[in-house]
Amino acid sequence: RKEVEQDPGPFNVPEGATVAFNCTYSNSASQSFFWYRQDCRKEPKLLMSVYSSGNEDGRFTAQLNRASQYISLLIRDSKLSDSATYLCVVSRGVPYKLSFGAGTTVTVRA
């Protein structure tokens, strides 16, 4: 079983819509959680960290459910520029020992 699993999508949504997707992780000892964004043919970039109480960054909301071992990302009022692959990343606390999910592809259409 992969340490981090994501629905690959694609999620095709119209501009202005809300889209949400999850990722699950297998190791209950995981301590830190992140969402990275990767545009087509580009490098991954940190989108946001995920905190236990949930957190927002503009139109993006991340939630963590430790009991069920999943992380979610919600994008409100989708923009064309949100089209990308979103990578779920989990760390077990060993510095920089990051496990990347395969990514969820989101396409926002006009």
Partner 1 sequence: DAGVIQSPRHEVTEMGQEVTLRCKPISGHDYLFWYRQTMMRGLELLIYFNNNVPIDDSGMPEDRFSAKMPNASFSTLKIQPSEPRDSAVYFCAGGQGALGNTIYFGEGSWLTVV
Chain contacts with partner 1 (rule: CB under 8 A): 32, 34, 42-46, 49, 87, 91, 95-96, 98, 100-103
* Closer residue to partner 1 in complex, CB, 25/34: 34
Q: Which two tokens stand for residue 26?
A: 């297998």
Distances (CA, A) of 92 to 12, 27, 29, 32, 52: 32, 8, 6, 7, 15
* Closer residue to partner 1 in complex, CB, 4/19: 4
Q: Which residues contact 65 (CB under 8 A, 6 or more apart)?
A: 71, 72
* Closer residue to partner 1 in complex, CB, 28/96: 96
Q: How far is the CB of 44 from partner 1 (least distance, A)?
A: 5
